[in-house]
Amino acid sequence: MPGFSFLLAGIFAELIVAPFFGRTSGGIVAARAITGILVLAGLSVVGLGRPALVLFIPTLIAQVLAIFSTAPSVTVAATTARCVFLCYVVGVIVWHVSKARTVTVDTIAGATCAYMLLGLVWASLYQLVEYVRPSSFLIPSGWLPANRNPQAALTYFSFVTLATVGYGDVRPADVDVGGLCVTEALVGQLYLAVMIARMVALQIAQRPD
């Protein structure tokens, strides 16, 4: 499996750069392009196997269509495809890291990528919920761009939830969505606890007697 630097760069671009572009009509194209780069980075990590390509090709096509169409069906399809593909990438990375017998920079980078991708996966789930059930989240009006796309706000909310910061500026509107949020917080904390424990155990095992 190749290094994770490209994927880490794609994740940070999705988190930091894309929201600035998404507030204007022209910038939406750039934001979608950044998402496409993230998907390509994910493919570079998992390789060109059949399962990866079966998930990657529809995801890339959906992202391209979403650049030129604002139809709700296209947006939902693109978000769904992205969520499924990123879930696959997370699974492959966690499997790769769990099989490692030594702690290296690559192992740590892989574990970091998987953790951050969890935030993007849940962000996609929140977006799907908001598309299917509008007003499922209470988002300040000033946070939404002219096209009312909640992607940036819900991505922010996802990482705040994953890190259990809980500022309260964006929050679920009912208990059903709240359950999804609690699940993300639990998964994030369990992932950190288990992964850190494994890394420490491997590091101790590497020490010479």
pLDDT of residue 26: 57
Q: Tell which CATH classification among 3.30.60.50, 1.10.287.70, 3.30.460.20, 3.40.50.740 matches the domain 5-206.
A: 1.10.287.70
Where along the chain do its domains lie? 5-206
pLDDT of residue 136: 92
Could you tell me how far CA 6 lies from the centroid of its own chain?
A: 15
φ, ψ of residue 40 to 5 degrees: the values are: -60, -40
Beta partners for 172?
Answer: 137
State the maximum Cα–Cα separation within the chain, in Å, rounded to a whole number: 63
pTM exceeds 0.75: yes
Q: Please give the average pLDDT of every successive group of 10 residues along the chain, which has 209 residues.
A: 78 80 62 82 89 93 85 90 95 89 84 93 94 91 79 91 87 89 94 88 73
